């Protein structure tokens, strides 16, 4: 009777997992709802139909099911997300990467290879989602400079980050979760570089494929990309007063361009009663100069981030009282957002100095964009506002959000972005470097290094509490929690061993290399239709059971799960970075299958050949 009951538990848990897979893969059900439903379902199942041993002791309690929320691997993943957000928030990698993008501009293939190799290397020691966020605008700029379609480079960018993630323990959340599931099943903890050699072999081959093959098989969507770039690249008119302490004082124009205002078009400079028009070759900026220029939001953001003192110039305008200068001393905690002048706004027909915008909102209008025509000759403060004008607004996030209740303007909430606090970049680099070195050297456990690094990002001011909390993706949190709960249920009921025996019976007579190869392909298939994290947690105990049944080191199958679960190339929902590049590259679902399915096959074949020799199975 005990055997029948345990078998029934196994079948119920396997049916539960099948239902969870369908729910996770469904676009109709929110991932958070599916995850909470899985946790609640497991709690109800083992409460009303408990799994007990011969002495009546429960083998799977509510605490066991819920223990995933405190699992060191999950805490490590969340902490590394905070550390990565600190890197993004301070722009710690943007300046070095920008310099890298400008290299080898006359050698397109070499330039692309260097950038993608850099993405791969950085992704080996940093969560790859923020890496892709940082590189998307840089890849776009590189494509324009090299006259390459953006659609040829965005998928390789995502794939390079995924490939880099499979080379070290902290390269991907998948790797950390496999370690957690393996430890849960009685295996030793993974070391930082335990699978780096086979990981580098697969990553190198994958990067070569991304460079040589993918650009030839992806469609050229230049026309679509061009339309979008034109729309998003419209310029704002900006007027900036040069303060005595501004970094622009004494700066000389080179080839008509001021170095601190790159990618920005200077319309004119007002010096006292005189208006100075281009060209500006050899001109030196002086205190009290009023510089009127046109720039895209991206170029304006970069200028502010590189030189925070430039913000003081906006406080000296006619519209803003000087005594409020303490509010915007740096870009720390400052947000840029866009707002549209409403059709019935009281601001229509008035200039900025007449509407007292700063007095009423505690925010500063940095620039004006007119959709009907470019404003060329007026000072920004003299422009009479029209319905539909877009205002570029700077202020603290709380003040920006309060503009939602202002009837005169319509806040575009999606446009609100915090300015990178580049003055704190060196702190973020030091913290990030210490986290990696501490974890890699074994000086402290990886969870200790990650949590300490996350705390240091907040304590040193690289992030505030609000920014740190936003870095924690609740979808990742709940999905991993649910997957760990399912893994615990499989382990306790013996479901992992049951599935392993089923796989072995289907492959009766096959040697360990063949079984390892088929297992890799099976995991790679599910990671593209389910989720890399859920697949990793569910298949790790199965792989360990297969290894034990075969009499080989179970860790070989654990490594196979790591590599296969990272093969999320064939579908956009296979990995977060695929979804990130889908919009900028203007891809369709079939584009990922066309580029990614052959890559999965290539890595499967290479692993099937390399792994048996490397792990001594032949």
Least confident of 110-119, 198-207, 250-259: 250-259
> What does the pLDDT average to over 283-308?
80
pLDDT at 225: 38
Q: Which residue has better confidence, 272 or 145? A: 272
* Rounded-to-integer distance, Cα 565 and Cα 574, Å: 9
Beta sheet of 364-369, edge-to-edge order: 274-276, 265-271, 290-295, 236-241, 364-369, 390-396, 334-341, 409-418
Long-range contacts: 546-553, Cβ < 8 Å, 24+? 546/500, 546/503, 546/504, 546/515, 546/519, 549/497, 549/500, 549/501, 549/504, 550/504, 550/512, 550/515, 552/512, 552/617, 553/615
Residue 331 has pLDDT above 60, yes or no: no
* Rounded-to-integer distance, Cα 255 and Cα 306, Å: 21
pLDDT at 375: 58
> What does the pLDDT average to over 370-387?
71
The partner residues of 334 in beta bridges, in order of sequence, read 396
pLDDT at 101: 62
Instruction: For 30-49, write each residue's pLDDT tens digit.
Output: 878 888 988 999 899 888 88
Lookup: tokens for 250: 């004494």
Residue 384 has pLDDT above 90, yes or no: no
Q: Which residue has better confidence, 151 or 601? A: 601
pLDDT at 333: 66
Burial of 127 per CB tally in 10 Å (0-12, 13-18, 19+): buried
Residue 345 has pLDDT above 70, yes or no: yes
Q: Which residue has better confidence, 282 or 549? A: 549
* Rounded-to-integer distance, Cα 491 and Cα 185, Å: 7
Confidence of residue 610 (pLDDT cuts 50, 70, 90): very high
Cα separation values, 210 from 35, 207, 216, 601, 618, Å: 34, 5, 10, 14, 31
pLDDT at 270: 85
Confidence of residue 383 (pLDDT cuts 50, 70, 90): confident
Average confidence score pLDDT of the chain: 81
Q: What are phi and psi of 281, to 5 degrees?
A: -55, 125
pLDDT at 454: 92
CB 145 within 8 Å of CB 107: no
* Rounded-to-integer distance, Cα 179 and Cα 186, Å: 11
Least confident of 20-24, 193-197, 336-340: 20-24
Residue 77 has pLDDT above 50, yes or no: yes
Residue 223 has pLDDT above 50, yes or no: no
Of 96, 82, 135, 91, the C-alpha closest to 421 is 91
CA–chain centroid gap for 545, Å, is: 34
> What does the pLDDT average to over 471-484?
79
* Rounded-to-integer distance, Cα 499 and Cα 466, Å: 44
pLDDT at 202: 96
User: Cβ contacts of residue 170 below 8 Å, gap of 6+?
Assistant: 76, 80, 125, 126, 127, 176, 192, 436, 439, 446, 450
pLDDT at 335: 83
* Rounded-to-integer distance, Cα 205 and Cα 203, Å: 5
Give the Cα-Cα-Cα angle 288, 292, 298 (nearest 5 degrees). Answer: 120
* Rounded-to-integer distance, Cα 607 and Cα 278, Å: 61
Q: How many CB atoms lie within 10 A of CB 4?
A: 8
* Rounded-to-integer distance, Cα 193 and Cα 134, Å: 25
Q: Where are the beta strands (DSSP E) in 25-170?
A: none
Of 423, 431, 433, 421, the C-alpha closest to 456 is 431
* Rounded-to-integer distance, Cα 202 and Cα 521, Å: 14
CB 257 within 8 Å of CB 303: no
Domain ranges of the chain: 234-422
Give the Cα-Cα-Cα angle 303, 304, 306 (nearest 5 degrees). Answer: 65
Residue 52 has pLDDT above 90, yes or no: no
Least confident of 87-96, 156-165, 367-376: 367-376
Q: Which of 141-150, 288-297, 475-484 has the highest average model confidence (pLDDT)?
A: 288-297
pLDDT at 604: 96
Percent of residues, the chain, with pLDDT higher than 90: 17
Residue 24 has pLDDT above 50, yes or no: yes
Q: What are phi and psi of 140, to 5 degrees?
A: -60, -45
* Rounded-to-integer distance, Cα 250 and Cα 257, Å: 14
Least confident of 107-111, 247-251, 425-429, 522-526: 107-111
pLDDT at 312: 64
Give the Cα-Cα-Cα angle 601, 604, 605 (nearest 5 degrees). Answer: 85
Residue 438 has pLDDT above 60, yes or no: yes
* Rounded-to-integer distance, Cα 386 and Cα 198, Å: 61
CB 535 within 8 Å of CB 175: no
On whether the 234-422 domain is CATH 1.20.870.10, my answer is no
Residue 201 has pLDDT above 50, yes or no: yes
Q: What are phi and psi of 259, to 5 degrees?
A: -55, -35
């Amino acid at each position: 009777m005990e055997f029948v009951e345990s078998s029934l538990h196994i079948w119920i848990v396997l049916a539960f997992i099948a239902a969870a897979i369908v729910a996770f893969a469904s676009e109709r059900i929110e991932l958070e709802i599916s995850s909470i439903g899985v946790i609640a379902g497991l709690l109800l199942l083992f409460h009303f139909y408990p799994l007990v041993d011969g002495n009546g002791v429960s083998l799977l309690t509510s605490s066991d099911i819920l223990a995933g929320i405190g699992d060191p691997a999950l805490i490590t993943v969340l902490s590394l997300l905070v550390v990565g957000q600190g890197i993004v928030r301070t722009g710690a990698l943007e300046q070095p990467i920008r310099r890298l993008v400008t290299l080898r501009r006359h050698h397109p293939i070499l330039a692309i290879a260097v950038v993608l190799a850099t993405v791969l290397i950085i992704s080996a020691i940093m969560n790859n989602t923020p890496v892709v966020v940082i590189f998307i605008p840089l890849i776009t700029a590189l494509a324009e400079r090299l006259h390459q379609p953006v659609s040829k480079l965005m998928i390789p960018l995502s794939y390079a980050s995924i490939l880099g993630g499979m080379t070290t323990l902290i390269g991907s959340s998948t790797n950390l979760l496999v370690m957690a599931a393996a430890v849960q099943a009685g295996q030793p903890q993974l070391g930082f570089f335990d699978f780096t050699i086979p990981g580098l072999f697969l990553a190198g081959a994958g990067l070569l494929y991304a460079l040589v093959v993918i650009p030839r098989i992806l469609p050229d969507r230049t026309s679509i990309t061009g339309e979008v770039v034109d729309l998003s690249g419209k310029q704002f008119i900006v007027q900036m007063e040069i303060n005595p302490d501004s970094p622009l004082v004494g700066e000389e124009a080179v080839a008509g361009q001021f170095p601190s205002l790159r990618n920005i078009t200077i319309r004119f400079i007002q010096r006292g009663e005189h208006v100075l028009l281009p060209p500006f070759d050899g001109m030196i900026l002086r205190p009290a100069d009023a510089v009127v220029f046109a720039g895209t939001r991206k170029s304006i953001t970069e200028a502010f981030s590189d030189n925070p003192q430039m913000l003081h110039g906006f406080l000296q305008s006619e519209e803003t009282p000087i005594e409020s200068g303490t509010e915007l001393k740096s870009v720390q905690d400052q947000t840029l957002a866009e707002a549209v002048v409403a059709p019935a706004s009281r601001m229509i027909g008035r200039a900025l100095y007449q509407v007292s915008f700063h007095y009423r909102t505690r925010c500063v209008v940095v620039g004006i964009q007119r959709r009907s025509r470019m404003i060329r000759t007026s000072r920004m403060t003299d422009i009479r506002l029209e319905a539909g004008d877009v205002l570029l607004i700077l202020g603290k996030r709380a003040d920006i959000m309060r503009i939602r209740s202002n009837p005169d303007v319509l806040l575009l909430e999606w446009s609100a972005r915090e300015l990178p606090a580049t003055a704190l970049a060196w702190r973020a680099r030091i913290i990030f470097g210490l986290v990696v070195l501490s974890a890699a050297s074994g000086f402290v456990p990886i969870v200790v290094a990650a949590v300490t690094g996350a705390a240091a990002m907040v304590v040193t001011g690289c992030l505030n509490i609000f920014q740190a909390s936003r870095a924690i993706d609740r979808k990742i949190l709940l999905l991993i929690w649910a997957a760990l709960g399912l893994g615990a249920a499989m382990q306790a009921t013996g479901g992992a061993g049951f599935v392993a025996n089923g796989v072995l019976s289907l492959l009766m007579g096959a040697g360990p290399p063949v079984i390892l190869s088929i297992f890799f392909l099976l995991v790679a298939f599910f990671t593209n239709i389910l989720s890399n994290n859920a697949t990793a947690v569910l298949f790790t105990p199965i792989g360990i059971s297969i290894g034990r049944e075969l009499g080989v080191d179970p860790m070989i199958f654990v490594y196979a799960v790591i590599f296969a679960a990272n093969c999320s190339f064939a579908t956009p929902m296979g990995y977060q970075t695929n979804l990130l590049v889908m919009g900028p590259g203007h891809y369709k679902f079939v584009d990922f299958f066309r580029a990614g399915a052959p890559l999965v096959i290539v890595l499967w074949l290479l692993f099937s050949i390399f792994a048996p020799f490397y792990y001594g199975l032949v």
